[in-house]
């Protein structure tokens, strides 16, 4: 069938919630008790502590709305809530998750939507995967509430922003959930209560359907940015939507024996024609010689960054230090220059139009990339290019901890798409990566390729993908 997985939001969707100043004031003594037991006494009244906590969370909320980043609990308490209080950092780290769990459990009144057990049981009997994607600051509130509601056995995966580090509507968290479920994003349905987080995020990630369920609680913020595929008042209405999808599945057509096209990202989708210019100018400004490329050292660092062993920020700092830069402000400037160069991507001619055409033909599209950049960064580039929502799978070396030509990267994409190697093509430029794709049984297309690259097809323009024999109409494309 078309929809293979149904993902739910938690607060406002699986459960309703509410709060008032009065209810929160009643919860403050419990927070005071936990802090005192850990040796933290701010000598504040309950009223005063409520103000400190409320204003701190509001500051954090405004920051994360812009950044879409979710910080660890200890960092939230230290940098946003208790920023004006000299609390021992180690002490705060030890109790931060307990404080956050108490806050999210006791500063809100939560109740499961009563129809949820029946709905989830029906969806499970349809043979669909059921998952959850929730914006949440603690790691414990969602699992605990699911157990309290006796619903935990329905959900796999459960993806929390507090663990993943990114928040809805960032499409990266939706892609991550789909990958864990081994389902293409275009075969996923998402149900949430907020348009600005749930519907917008699912849309950006290319989910097939985005359904809004009404939650009658006004948080005082505008809620817009997309149009849901359906709006429901009761979760049982979701079952009718899924039944329609099941009936339509019989009409689904596969475009050809080849059903998916996988792409390398850098030097296939985009390139950086001016890379190195700004950093070299930065080095010269400091009186340093940029001519030494430090090739061996950079290769070791890039291997670690691409495998997720060091962060991209640490990688950039290490590159800057290779040139003998040690002053903190100069290191920071160098990192900013490298970041700016990384973001200066240029898309090859015809990429957006070609990907859109392939999607319209019914092909599943995926990225298999060696990268130090987080998935959310690449998705941001793709969104600016006008094709952020076309991807059914994004397999990143940074997330999986392995690099091409390791066959597990290619196989991870095929597994999520539910296809065999014979049903997919890989488009690449490096000889080693094309060889790795062929080794797992993928047909290969070389574009912007190295002289030593061996492939089944060679194209000079990105748009030629549409006319190679295995995808489109036969044409004069070399198959040496």
31 vs 58, 131, 316, CA distance in Å?
Answer: 18, 32, 40
Nearest alpha carbon to residue 323 among 297, 289, 295, 285: 289
Query: What does the pLDDT look like over 418-456, one tens digit per residue?
Result: 999 999 999 999 999 999 999 999 999 999 999 999 999
* Mean predicted confidence (pLDDT) in 406-412: 97
Q: Which two tokens stand for residue 218?
A: 């006004």
- CATH architecture of the domain with residue range 260-270+347-467: 3-Layer(aba) Sandwich (3.40)
Model confidence band, residue 475 (pLDDT cutoffs 50, 70, 90): very low
Q: Please tell me the distance from the alpha carbon of residue 427 to that of residue 269, in angstroms, as a whole number.
A: 10
Residue-averaged pLDDT of the chain: 94
Q: Are 99 and 81 in contact (CB under 8 A)?
A: no
Q: In sequence order, what are the residues at sequence separation of 6 or more whose Cβ sits closer than 8 angstroms to the Cβ of residue 333?
A: 282
Instruction: Show me where the domains of the chain are located.
Output: 5-15+110-251, 20-107, 260-270+347-467, 273-343
* pTM given for the model: 0.94
What residues form DSSP beta bridges with 209? 189
* Mean predicted confidence (pLDDT) in 11-25: 96
Q: Are 9 and 134 in contact (CB under 8 A)?
A: yes
Q: Are 128 and 154 in contact (CB under 8 A)?
A: no
Dihedral (CA of 75, 77, 78, 80) sign: positive
329 vs 152, 215, 281, 387, CA distance in Å?
Answer: 49, 48, 17, 37
What's residue 374's pLDDT?
A: 95
What's residue 256's pLDDT?
A: 65
Model confidence band, residue 478 (pLDDT cutoffs 50, 70, 90): very low
Say which CATH topology domain 5-15+110-251 has. Rossmann fold (3.40.50)
Q: Are 335 and 320 in contact (CB under 8 A)?
A: yes
5-15+110-251 and 260-270+347-467 agree in CATH topology: yes
What residues form DSSP beta bridges with 132? 8, 158
Q: Is the pLDDT of residue 253 over 80?
A: no
Q: Is the pLDDT of residue 275 over 70?
A: yes
Q: Is the pLDDT of residue 473 over 70?
A: no
Q: Which two tokens stand for residue 28?
A: 């403050």
To which H or E segment does residue 245 belong?
helix 237-248
């Amino acid at each position: 069938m078309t929809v293979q997985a149904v993902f739910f939001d938690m607060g406002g969707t699986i459960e309703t919630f509410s709060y008032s100043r009065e209810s929160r004031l009643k919860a403050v003594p419990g927070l005071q008790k936990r802090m005192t037991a850990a040796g933290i006494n701010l000598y504040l009244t309950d009223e005063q502590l409520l103000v400190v906590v409320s204003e701190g969370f509001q500051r954090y909320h405004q920051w994360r709305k812009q950044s879409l980043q979710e910080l660890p609990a200890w960092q939230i308490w230290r940098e946003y809530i208790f920023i004006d209080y000299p609390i021992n950092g180690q002490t705060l780290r030890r109790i931060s998750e307990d404080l956050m769990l108490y806050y999210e459990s006791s500063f809100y009144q939560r109740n499961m939507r009563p129809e949820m057990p029946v709905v989830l049981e029906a969806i499970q009997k349809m043979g669909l995967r059921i998952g959850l994607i929730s914006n949440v600051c603690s790691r414990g509130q969602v699992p605990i509430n699911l157990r309290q509601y006796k619903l935990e056995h329905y959900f796999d995966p459960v993806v929390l922003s507090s663990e993943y580090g990114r928040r809805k509507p960032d499409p990266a968290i939706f892609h991550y959930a789909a990958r864990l479920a081994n389902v293409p994003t275009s075969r996923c349905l998402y149900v949430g209560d907020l348009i600005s987080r749930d519907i917008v995020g699912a849309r950006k990630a290319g989910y097939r359907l985005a359904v809004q369920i009404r939650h009658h609680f006004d948080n005082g913020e505008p809620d817009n940015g997309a149009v849901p595929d359906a709006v429901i008042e009761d979760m049982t209405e979701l079952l009718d939507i899924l039944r329609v999808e099941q009936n339509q599945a019989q009409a689904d057509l596969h475009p050809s024996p080849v059903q998916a096209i996988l792409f390398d990202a850098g030097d296939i989708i985009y390139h950086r024609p001016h890379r190195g210019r700004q950093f070299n100018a930065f080095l010269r400004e400091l009186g340093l010689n940029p001519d030494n490329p430090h090739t061996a050292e950079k290769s070791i660092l890039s291997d670690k960054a691409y495998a997720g062993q060091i962060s991209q920020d640490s990688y950039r700092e290490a590159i800057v230090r290779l040139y003998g830069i040690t002053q903190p402000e100069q290191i920071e400037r160098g990192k900013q220059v490298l970041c700016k160069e990384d973001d200066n991507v240029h898309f090859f001619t015809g990429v957006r139009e070609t990907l859109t055409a392939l999607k319209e033909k019914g092909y599943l599209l995926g990225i298999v990339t060696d990268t130090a950049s987080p998935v959310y960064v690449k998705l941001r580039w793709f969104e600016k290019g006008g094709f952020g929502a076309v991807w059914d799978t994004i397999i990143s070396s940074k997330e999986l901890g392995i690099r091409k030509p390791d066959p597990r990267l290619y196989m991870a994409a095929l597994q999520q798409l539910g296809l065999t190697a014979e049903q997919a093509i890989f488009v690449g430029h490096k000889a080693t990566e094309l060889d790795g794709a062929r080794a797992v049984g993928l047909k290969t297309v070389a574009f912007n390729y190295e002289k030593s690259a061996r492939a089944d097809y060679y194209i000079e323009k990105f748009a030629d993908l549409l006319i190679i024999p295995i995808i489109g109409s036969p044409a004069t494309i070399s198959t040496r």
